[in-house]
Amino acid sequence: MRIAKALGSLALVAGLLVAGCSGAGPGTLASAAQWNPGAYGGESTIQLGTVRSDGSTHWFKVWIVVIDDQAYVRLGSRSATKIAENRSAPHVGVRVAGQQFDRVRAEPAPEMIERVAQAMAAKYWGDVVVHLIAHPLTLRLRPE
């Protein structure tokens, strides 16, 4: 019982940490040619947009890291469910650095789980808590 309460508290703290990070809001519609992962490494958060079953778009914030000039995100269970239920799969919207990309391929990248986790730990001090929560999905983001 104590472990469950502790994990619940950690999840709450992690949610507050993520919510408190600055994030990308709606931006200028951009083309795939404008995608520049090197410029996104300094961003605290980005937003991913998925299409719900009713056709509406749901935007949510996630942390981002850039490794070898590729953008990666690591998703917890709730966000992974949003990706799994996304009607526009394998594409998502991405809001980053004042730009909005409407067609970005969200590719599972299981071979990058460890490298992304290490990069997240190095970039985000809050990862000391967040890494304790399951992250079943690591994605590479590539515009089309």
**pLDDT band for position 62 (50/70/90)?**
very high
Cite the DSSP H helix spans in 21-112.
37-40, 77-84
Q: Work out the angle at residue 136's Cα, subtended by the Cα atoms of residues 135 and 142, and round it to the nearest 5 degrees.
A: 95
Q: Could you give the 3-state DSSP secondary structure of residue 128?
A: helix
Residue 144 scores a pLDDT above 80: yes
Give yes or no for a contact between 36 and 73, defined as CB atoms under 8 angstroms apart: no
Predicted confidence (pLDDT) per residue in 4-49, tens digit: 444 443 343 344 333 333 444 577 899 999 999 999 999 999 999 9
Nearest CA among 98, 79, 73 for reference residue 23: 98
The pTM for the full model equals 0.79
Predicted confidence (pLDDT) per residue in 101-110, tens digit: 999 999 999 9
Per-residue confidence (pLDDT) for residue 113, from 0 to 100: 95
> If 0-12 CB within 10 Å is exposed, 13-18 middle and 19+ buried, where does residue 47 land?
buried
Domain 2-143 has CATH 3.40.720.10: no
